[in-house]
Structure 1
Amino acid sequence: MTETGTPTLLLSLGEQSSRVRLTREDGTLWDHPLAFGLEAMTPGPFRRDPPSALELEQAIMVVEDVLMPLAAQIPPHERLMLHSPYPLVGELGSQELSRESVEQLFGQFAAMVEGDPLAAANLPKARHFAATLLILREWMHHLDAKRVVLIDG
C-alpha cells in the first residue's frame, strides 16, 4: 500500500503467463493470474519481428479478452506498477510514462508494422517489445490507468 492509503497495482509480465496484484485501501490483497505472457504471444498472434499488422490486431483481441473481465475487480487507478523480465526503461524512454505517451508509442509502433519507414526509426522490432507495449496500452486504455511506472528485472 502507498503512504497515502490508496490501492497499489502491480502487473507482472511473464514469459507464458502474467499476474496482477491489487493491494486495496484496507490492506487486503487480490492476486489474479492472466492467461497471456510475452512469449505466449509467439507462436500465437506474434510470429515475426516485428509482428505484422494482422498479428497485432489478433494480439489485441487476445489481450482484450483477458483484461475486460477484470474491469469489475480493478478500480480506475492513478498509477500502475509494471514488472517485466525484459529491461523496458531504455526501450520506452522513461521509467514513468503517461497514458498519452503509451498511446503515442503504440501508434508509432502500429504505423511501423503497417510499413511507415519513419515510424520505425527509434523503436525496437522484437516481439517481446511489441507484446509489452500492446499489453500496457490495452491495460491503460480499458482499465483506466493514468500512468505506468516500469520496474525492470
Structure 2
Amino acid sequence: MHNSDFQIELVTHFNQIRHQLTDPGQITVLHLAAELVGIASGSGMGPPETQILALGAQRSAREYFRLTPPGRQEFELAIERVEDEIIRASKLLPLHAKLYSSDQLVRQIALLAGVPDSAFMLLDLETMERCFSRLAAVIQGQPATHEGIPLDNNFAATLLILREFMHHLSFSSICILRGV
C-alpha cells in the first residue's frame, strides 16, 4: 500500500471513530497495519493532523526478528528502533488526547491481556505492560503456551509497537472500538 492510500485509510479510521463518540474532544487514533503505522490527531470536525511511521506488524517482524520467538538481542534492538521511530510522532500529539484504535491486532492484545470483549474496550497501560511482560518471558525461554500468547512474530511486533507508543508518548490507556 502506498503512503497516499494509507493516509486516506488513516483519515477514514479517524473520522469513523470520531463520529462514534458523543464528545470526542482531543483524540488520537492509532492505526497499526501490516507495513505502516498511522497516527491521526485532532478535535472538532476539522481534518486531523497525521503522521505515518515506517513500522507495522509484518514489516517490523520481517526487519527485526530472525528467530521465532525473537531472540533477546534482536528484541532489544527492535525496541531501540521502534522507540526512535515513535519519538518522531511526539511533536504531532496534543497533550491530554485520548487514544483510540479499531484495529483487530490491538483488540487481540486487549483480549489476551484479559480485557472483556465488547464494542468499547479499554486497555490501560498497566494491563498492557503485564501482557508485554508475558511476551518478555517467552523471549527469555518460557513456553508461549504457558504464557497464553501466540508464538507469532507479527503479534510480538504489534505488542512491541503498542507498548512503546503508549509508554513513550504517555498514554495511560487505549480505547478499542469494534465495527469501525
Alignment partner of 2:76 out of 31, 37, 57: 57
Alignment partner of 1:115 out of 141, 164, 174: 141
CA distance in 2, matches of 1:107, 1:149: 21
CA distance in 1, matches of 2:58, 2:139: 19
| 1:38 equivalent in structure 2 | 57
* Letter aligned with residue 70 of structure 2: P
Within-5 A mapping of 1:74-89: 74-77=93-96, 79-86=98-105, 88=108, 89=110
Alignment partner of 1:73 out of 92, 98, 109: 92
* Letter aligned with residue 138 of structure 2: M
CA distance in 2, matches of 1:118, 1:59: 20
Distance verdict in 2 for CA 1:36–1:76, change over 3 Å: same
> Structure 1: which 5+ residue stretches go unaligned?
none
Query: Contact 2:113/2:127 (CA < 8 Å) preserved in 1?
Result: no
Query: Contact 2:123/2:174 (CA < 8 Å) preserved in 1?
Result: yes
CA distance in 1, matches of 2:56, 2:144: 29
SS of match in other structure, 2:84? helix
CA distance in 1, matches of 2:33, 2:161: 12
Q: CA RMSD for the aligned pairs?
A: 2.5
Q: Which protein is richer in strand relative to its size? A: 1
CA distance in 2, matches of 1:20, 1:118: 30
How many residue pairs align between the two structures? 153
| 2:112 equivalent in structure 1 | 91
Q: TM-score, normalised by structure 1?
A: 0.84
Cα shift at 1:5: 4.9
User: Share of identical aligned residues, percent?
Assistant: 29
Cα shift at 1:33: 0.9
Choose between structure 1 and 2 for higher RCO, CA contacts under 8 A separated by at least 6 residues.
Answer: 1
SS of match in other structure, 2:98? strand
What whole-Å deviation, never above 9, does each CA across 1:8-47 have from its counterpart, x for those lacking one?
Answer: 1111111111211112357341011111111111321122
Q: TM-score, normalised by structure 2?
A: 0.73
Query: Contact 1:11/1:18 (CA < 8 Å) preserved in 2?
Result: yes
Distance verdict in 2 for CA 1:100–1:43, change over 3 Å: same
> Structure 2: which 5+ residue stretches go unaligned?
1-17, 116-120
* Letter aligned with residue 38 of structure 1: A
Q: Which protein is richer in helix relative to its size? A: 2
